[in-house]
Structure 1
């Protein structure tokens, strides 16, 4: 007599659906974290470039970079530190990236450094 497998497909689907949903959430969350890190890195690089190559005032650039972070919905909070150390400009940007599910937020901390460029008599 053949063994009947009635309902085995349904049972497999019911058992594996939470696994597939969890993997989908993990993939999407990883994409959000990667995007946020790229955005923070771009803000840090732009701030360092403005101070090192264009001779912009570090305080004004810091305010502008913080305004960019505040205007982006990808972040919660954000701080920018610009240090002029001799011939080196170091910009550190920190922000918090919210998660899809409560408790999955992550902190992003990026540092960019560029040499000070310009005419030196």
Structure 2
């Protein structure tokens, strides 16, 4: 499940202001029967919670042109990584999350004019993943 901050707040009836609060929200949502929850937090990145860990992926700071489709890009990359894991057991959440956040960041920032030679892989290397 990949709600954004507003959707998670609405679902739970509580405010989410920090990555720690997003992690707690993700745990509550998981307890309702979802295997993995990734809550997108806009410029703060995303918090992912599965049965083993809670991780905050903090993206690089870039000017944003439009966030339309950024969450969809994140979901597409996560879905691909989850499928790859199911097939080969080679990709886990900690490995998939930076690329997923980079995909959403790249899509949002490209509309504001990314610096030349800024690739998805370049952004992925700039995403910090922090346990929460």
TM-score by length of 1: 0.31
Q: Which has the larger radius of gyration?
A: 1
